[in-house]
Amino acid sequence: MSRFGFTITKARFIDYESNDRRISEYISEMEPSFLRCIECGCCSATCTAAGFTKFSLRELNILIKRGENKEINKTIRKCMLCGKCTLVCPRGVNTRNVITLAKEAYQKAENHAV
């Protein structure tokens, strides 16, 4: 099959009722600027880690907010915390703290502390 670059996305169903939003809530409580994110993608465009591997903070933000937490724990550790995303963010989201808090929240979720 030839690749045209246009794929039909697989039908998906996001259930906000059953998804685990604890991590998203933990982050927004500790760092309210997380809620300001408009998912513009400036952070992903400037990302140092993204130069080496598939890593997008924009995607992570969306997934965390939806409560689709699988695999994020591993992905989020690809971040080098260099801070470029914080500087380019047009909404003033403290992205470095969002990532640190996300790591913390996963740690706590594993220990059933959140």
Partner 1 sequence: MQFDPFVIPFNIGLYFIVLYAVGRSVIWFRELSRADKLRLQRGFFGPAFAMSLKEIFMESLIHRKILKTNWRLGYMHMSLAFGWFLLIFFGTVEADVFGTKHLNAPYKAIFFRFFNPEHGRSGFEAAYGFLMDLILAFILSGLLLAVLKRFWSPAVGVKKTTKLGVSDKIALTSLWLIFPSRLIAESFTCGAYETGSFLTGSLGSFLASFLPTQEMAYPFWWLYSLSLGTFFILLPVTRYMHIPAEIFLIFMRNAGIRTGDRESSYSEVEVHSCSSCGICIDTCQLNYSAGINTIQSAYLMKGIRRNEDVKDIAENCLMCGRCDQACPVGIELYPIRMMERRRKSADHEYRNLYKGYLRSRFPLTPEKDNETPSYSYLAEESPEKADVLYFAGCMTHLTPSIKNSMVEILNASGLDYKFIDEKGGACCGRPLMLAGQDREARELINFNSQMIWKSGASMLVTSCPICYKVFRESYHLDVEVLHHSQFIKRLIDKEAISLKFLQKNVVYHSPCDLGRGSGVYEEPKEILKYVSRLEKSRYEDAESLCCGGSLGNLKLSSEQRRKIATDAANELTASCPDILATACPLCKKTFSSATSVKVSDISEIVAEALTKTSVPKYNALKALSKPEMANV
* Position 38 contacts partner 1 (CB under 8 A): no
Write the CB contacts of 79 (distance below 8 Å, at least 6 apart in sequence).
49, 55, 57, 99
In whole angstroms, the minimum distance from the beta carbon of 35 to partner 1 comes to 13
> b or e along 22-32 (b: 16 or more beta carbons within 10 Å of the residue's beta carbon)?
ebbebbbeebe
In whole angstroms, the minimum distance from the beta carbon of 58 to partner 1 comes to 18
In whole angstroms, the minimum distance from the beta carbon of 49 to partner 1 comes to 8
CA–CA separation, 83 and 95 (whole Å): 8
Contact residue for partner 1 among 14, 35, 52, 110 (CB under 8 A): 52
Q: Which is nearer to partner 1, 14 or 29 (CB)?
A: 29
Contact 46/37 with Cβ under 8 angstroms? no
* Position 56 contacts partner 1 (CB under 8 A): no
Phi, psi of 27 (to 5 degrees): -65, -45
- The residue ranges that bind partner 1 (CB under 8 A) are 33, 46, 48, 51-53, 77-78, 80-84, 86-89, 92-94, 96-97, 100
